[in-house]
């Protein structure tokens, strides 16, 4: 029975994600707005999209929902043409705009994936599992979404979001210890984003974000790990589906603990030595094969580094699912292991990529 748990969990994750992507029944007015967004440019204003449906509002609702909408000319910036196909960030912005009027407006934030076979090394069980009972093979998965708090906006106008990412390391193959979760990291974010079309050394700066982020593992006592930070992020892309993301952060200071194991105070005062003050991600979002890499290095004296490489390819049984391979080597893969060098190789399925 325990050997079937990872397969059942993977099936549940895929089924749940597919259900969440289905919107509830829309009213004729909402359906018209959704269809208008599907053909509109990503930088089109909300008022212009609403105006395209307003003329049909006084008439027959059925006629309103079925009336054809004029397609944007091919030379309109952001229209569905060959010019936009090379911009992975603009494609994602178009998908997000179409979801704005859905009743269930959960939008993918970071990649959602499941790695039933994730072989690690140098792991620790913390206070949840003794190192002697620890399995180096785990089931690792990540669920990540964001919810828009404001309507899609044009260049230079703010868009507000709430995002949540949950990352789990499950000892699914340790049946003698009831297959516990070795670690689960909660990562909520609140941020404001601005669109742009700014050329930068052959790239185009598309998005600039500023926000606040809290990361913790939800434990108490000696196993507690957490930190808060203010971050800024710049996202760029260029032709041939190349993309680049620069993210920097400043840790919000915390007071020292009065005694080890107390609830108040800093759980991990040296965490920036291992996770630094920023990271670089870059990749290529091809039609089929997609890859990306992450580089992180602390600028502090004696600082540590981390490297991650991800590769995905479409499956044959579901157009939304992708075969996924992940490799990680360095510090900060999880909070419980933040000060240990971890090396891990995982194979599984991905539901969405960065772009």
**CA dist., res. 199 & res. 204, Å (int):** 4
Using the CB atoms, write b or e for 122-151: b if 16+ within 10 Å: ebbbbebbeeeebbeebbbbbbbbbebeeb
Task: Convert 288-322 into a string of H (helix), E (strand) and C (coil).
Answer: CCEEEEEEEECCCCCCCEEEEEEEEEECCCCCCCE
**Is 216 in the active site?**
yes
CA–CA gap between residue 85 and residue 89 (Å, rounded): 10
| 200 secondary structure, DSSP code | E
CA distance linking residue 219 with residue 225, whole number of Å: 7
Alpha helices in the chain (DSSP H): 5-20, 28-39, 46-54, 61-66, 82-85, 88-99, 271-275
Task: Please identify which of the residues 186, 214, 297, 343 carries the catalytic annotation.
Answer: 214
* 39, 186, 216, 297: the active-site residue: 216
Phi, psi of 296, deg, nearest 5:
-145, 135
214 is catalytic: yes
In degrees, rounded to 5, the angle at the alpha carbon of residue 90 between the alpha carbons of residues 87 and 92 is 110
Could you please report the per-residue DSSP string of 175-190?
A: GGGT--EEEEEEEEEE
Using alpha carbons only, how large is the chain's radius of gyration in Å? 22
Burial of 341 (0-12, 13-18, 19+ CB in 10 A): middle
| Among 302, 284, 303, CA closest to 293 | 284
Helices (H), 212-270: none
Nearest partner of 118 among 63, 157, 172, judged by Cα: 172
Q: What is the DSSP letter of 171?
A: -
Active site residues: 214, 216
């Amino acid at each position: 029975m325990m050997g079937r748990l990872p397969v059942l969990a993977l099936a549940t994750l895929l089924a749940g994600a597919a259900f969440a992507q289905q919107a509830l029944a829309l009213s004729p007015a909402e359906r018209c707005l959704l269809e208008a967004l599907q053909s509109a440019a990503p930088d089109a204003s909300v008022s212009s999209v609403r105006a395209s449906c307003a003329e049909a509002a006084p008439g027959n609702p059925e006629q309103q929902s079925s009336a054809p909408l004029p397609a944007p000319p091919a030379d309109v910036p952001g229209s569905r043409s060959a010019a936009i196909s090379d911009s992975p960030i603009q494609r994602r912005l178009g998908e997000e705009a179409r979801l704005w009027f859905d009743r269930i407006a959960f939008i993918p934030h970071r990649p959602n994936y499941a790695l039933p076979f994730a072989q690690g090394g140098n792991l620790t069980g913390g206070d949840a599992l003794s190192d002697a009972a620890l399995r180096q093979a785990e089931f690792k998965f990540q669920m990540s979404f964001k919810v828009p708090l404001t309507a899609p906006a044009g260049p230079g106008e703010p868009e507000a979001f709430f995002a949540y990412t949950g990352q789990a390391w499950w000892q699914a193959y340790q049946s003698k210890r009831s297959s516990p979760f070795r670690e689960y990291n909660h990562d909520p974010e609140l941020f404001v984003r601005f669109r742009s079309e700014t050329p930068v050394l052959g790239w185009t700066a598309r998005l600039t974000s500023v926000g606040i982020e809290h990361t913790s593992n939800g434990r108490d006592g000696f196993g507690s790990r957490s930190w808060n930070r203010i971050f800024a992020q710049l996202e760029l892309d260029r032709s041939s589906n190349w993309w680049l993301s620069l993210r920097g952060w400043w840790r919000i200071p915390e007071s020292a603990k009065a005694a080890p194991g107390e609830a108040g105070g800093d759980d991990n005062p040296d965490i920036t030595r291992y996770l630094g003050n920023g990271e670089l991600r870059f990749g290529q979002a091809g039609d089929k094969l997609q890859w990306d890499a992450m580089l992180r290095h602390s600028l502090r004296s004696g600082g540590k580094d981390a490297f991650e490489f991800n590769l995905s390819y479409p499956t044959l049984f579901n157009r939304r699912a992708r075969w996924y391979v992940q490799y990680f080597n360095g510090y900060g893969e999880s909070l419980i292991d933040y000060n240990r060098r971890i090396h891990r190789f995982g194979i599984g399925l991905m539901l969405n990529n960065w772009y």
